[in-house]
């Protein structure tokens, strides 16, 4: 997939193994915010090691956004056994949130879904008001009928 333009002077590209260290750092910064919004919730992104992040690059399609060389955002996705395109680890550097990068990454991940993906699926903290607002605005709906980790909710969107 060729680089795509995002708000500002960034572009989105497939992640490479050399991105793992920066992804690990960005992940920590972003999910500390989630922990503040969802106190007491176990957040896997905060318990992973650098090796876990590296393994995630092999298990998921992962894209990164850079601005002036700095890794400022990322998203990953993979096809589930039920033909759902599982989108996760959508993150934007805390100092750049609210500029449309997250929405762009979400749209990018959706557009990258393979033809056999029938829907999009994601999880977020039950008290993550900003995330819930963005996902609902993008057409996702809460799915209380689907199992979520404690303190999280599942949202889905039919592929259109």
| Domain range annotation of the chain | 4-158
Residues 6 or more apart in contact with residue 75 via CB below 8 angstroms? 62, 63, 87, 88, 89, 90, 91, 105, 106, 108, 109
Model-wide pTM > 0.85: yes
DSSP at 67 = E
Q: Answer whether CATH 3.40.630.30 is correct for domain 4-158.
A: yes
pLDDT in tens, 10-65: 689 999 999 999 999 999 999 998 999 999 899 999 999 999 999 999 999 999 99
Distance between CA atoms of residues 118 and 88, nearest Å: 17
Distance between CA atoms of residues 138 and 136, nearest Å: 5
Residue 128 in tokens:
């993550």
Distance between CA atoms of residues 58 and 52, nearest Å: 10
| CA dist 105 → 39, 42, 131, 149, 154 (Å) | 26, 25, 13, 23, 19
């Amino acid at each position: 997939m060729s680089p795509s333009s995002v708000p500002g002077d960034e572009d989105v590209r497939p992640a490479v193994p050399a991105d793992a260290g920066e992804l690990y750092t960005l992940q920590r910064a972003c999910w500390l915010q989630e922990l503040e919004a969802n106190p007491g919730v176990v957040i896997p992104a905060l318990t992973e090691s650098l090796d876990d992040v590296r393994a995630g690059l092999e298990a998921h399609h992962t894209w990164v956004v850079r601005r002036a060389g700095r890794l400022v955002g990322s998203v990953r996705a993979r096809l589930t056994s039920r033909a759902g395109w599982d989108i996760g680890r959508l993150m934007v550097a805390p100092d750049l949130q609210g500029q449309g990068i997250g929405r762009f990454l979400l749209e990018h991940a959706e557009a990258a879904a393979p033809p056999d993906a029938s829907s999009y699926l994601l999880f977020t903290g039950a008290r993550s008001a900003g995330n819930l607002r963005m996902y609902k605005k993008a057409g996702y709906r809460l799915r209380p009928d689907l199992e979520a980790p404690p303190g999280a909710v599942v949202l889905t969107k039919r592929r259109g």
